[in-house]
Amino acid sequence: MRRGIFCCVAFWSWLFVGQMPVATALHPAEPSNRSILDMPQLLHNARYRFLPLPIVATDPAEGQTYGVLPVLIALDNDEAIVSVFAAASTYNTITRTGGFGNWLLTPSSDEELRLFGGAATHAYREASADYINRRWLCGHLNWAAHFLYIKDPFERFFGFGPRTEEDSGSNFTSALRRGSSTLSYEFIPHLAATGSVDYTRVTLLPHAITTLPDTLTTYGTLPEVVPSNQILYQAGLRWDSRDSEFFPTHGLHASIMGLFSHAAEGPAASFAGYNARMKFAWQPHPRWTTVGALRLQQLFGAYIPFYHQSSLGGESELRGFVTRRFTDRHAVSLALEERILVKEWSMMGTTVAFSIDPFFNMGQVFGHLSNLRPANLEPAGGLGFRMRANPTVLGRVDLAYSRDGVAVYTTLDYPF
């Protein structure tokens, strides 16, 4: 739910925040000896700015969301952000009246803590905590921890295979509890080893969108449509020579991760596999930036719960289809995007850029290699409208078309 909620906050932030020196105000604190333990003192000495922002969000699976978002920003003596607190009141066409609170603490660019909580009168509940520390071993060793509870009423399932139809869609509410920890170590420039442990517990509840069939009723006889307690282990290598993670103009990112999962309790549901990704960026002209992404994932096991299987659809992969539009053990996808700079200007010391970005993506899920054929590839494409502000703020509206029709994604961040 919060993915869609934050969508237009970016655009309104440029209108409001743009009237102050955002070149510094939007920039987190530089690396320093300050840590999260110093936050009480930092907040005591901070200078505060208040921004009332409207919310107008859309998501093809979540409906419309409206509301108001008061934002309180805390700045240190160097005009760097040390805290952002936002508390919203919202109305969604499915979950009805609700709200959320989001608190970001950044004592330095090496350390970050984010706390989130949200609820609505119908079905939706969420609480999460994310912590990132990049200061160990002179920045070579990074650690991240993630904790999440969410009762999500927008979940979809269309069955298995690459040719499922839109009218086979169903809805369920998931109650998910997750805790994960990730370590990565860069042992030579651009090359890092990374590993993670992820505990996930999923309970399946009846549908909240009553206009759609209930997943448990429609697909409940499938052995993969079951609750689960899973522990997932991943390890692999990552190469990243891009000049920027946010807006790369050249370079390559490639990773290969092996994974193994087993049930923490209950019937055995072990599976294994790998996930390979590649991203590239090339800028033949200052106004034209070509980017692409390729993904291949394969999972192997007797009965893999359907929400742990490979899937395509949503705001990042195979735009044009709703999240988890296609599900099966394996998936392959390709995305290409041309980011065309239309206008760039300076607003109170920072650079703001507007671009029109046509994109094309295709992919398919498959249960066996025999299913991997051109006739099963699902193409989709469209046009993106993006506003970018330094150093790492982006709002985008993507209009995508597929065989399911037109989908509109309004959110933050690039899809890849």
- In angstroms, the Cα distances linking 298 to 153, 257, 369 are 28, 11, 10
Q: How far is CA 145 from the centre of its chain?
A: 16
For residue 55, being part of any structural domain is answered with yes
d(CA 351, CA 329): 44
Q: Per mean pLDDT, which range of 204-208, 253-257, 275-279, 347-351 is the poorest?
A: 347-351
Strand locations in 60-167 (E) = 63-75, 81-92, 96-108, 111-120, 125-136, 141-157
Entry pTM: 0.86
d(CA 364, CA 362): 7
- Residue appearing with tokens 């604190």: 29
Q: Which residue has the higher pLDDT, 408 or 28?
A: 408
pLDDT value for 64: 82
Is the pLDDT at 391 greater than 70? The verdict is no
pLDDT > 90: percent of the chain: 65
pLDDT tens-place string over residues 59-74: 778 878 888 888 888 8
**Pairing status of strand 47-59 against strand 96-108:** unpaired
For residue 334, being part of any structural domain is answered with no
pLDDT value for 135: 79
- Is-contact 196 182, C-beta < 8 A? yes
Taking the alpha carbons at both ends of the chain, their separation in whole angstroms is 20
d(CA 66, CA 95): 12
d(CA 297, CA 276): 6
How confident is residue 4, by pLDDT bands cut at 50, 70 and 90? Answer: very low
Provide the domain count of the chain.
1
pLDDT tens-place string over residues 270-305: 999 999 999 999 999 999 999 999 999 999 998 899
Alpha-helical segments (H) within 212-282: 215-219
For residue 57, being part of any structural domain is answered with yes
For residue 38, being part of any structural domain is answered with yes
H or E element that contains 10: helix 7-17
pLDDT value for 134: 85
Averaged over 173-180, what is the pLDDT?
A: 97
Is the pLDDT at 8 greater than 60? The verdict is no
Peptide bond into 391 cis (omega under 30): yes
What does pLDDT average to over the chain? 88
Is the pLDDT at 26 greater than 90? The verdict is no
Q: Which residue has the higher pLDDT, 11 or 249?
A: 249
For residue 222, being part of any structural domain is answered with no
d(CA 331, CA 53): 39
Averaged over 231-255, what is the pLDDT?
A: 95
Q: Which domain holds residue 43?
A: 1-114
How confident is residue 268, by pLDDT bands cut at 50, 70 and 90? Answer: low
pLDDT value for 299: 97
Is the pLDDT at 19 greater than 70? The verdict is no
Residues paired with residue 337 on neighbouring β-strands, in sequence order: 291, 359
What would the DSSP string read from start to end of 180-227?
Answer: EEEEEEEEETTEEEEEEEEEEEEEEE--S-TTS-BHHHHHTTSTTSS-
pLDDT value for 197: 98
Handedness of CA 216, 222, 223, 224 (dihedral sign): negative
Q: Is 238 exposed, middle or buried (0-12, 13-18, 19+ CB in 10 A)?
A: middle
For residue 92, being part of any structural domain is answered with yes
For residue 402, being part of any structural domain is answered with no
For residue 312, being part of any structural domain is answered with no
How confident is residue 20, by pLDDT bands cut at 50, 70 and 90? Answer: very low
How confident is residue 264, by pLDDT bands cut at 50, 70 and 90? Answer: confident
Q: Per mean pLDDT, which range of 199-213, 286-300, 345-359 is the poorest?
A: 345-359
pLDDT tens-place string over residues 131-172: 999 878 877 899 999 999 999 999 999 999 999 999 999 999
- Residue appearing with tokens 């009141």: 89
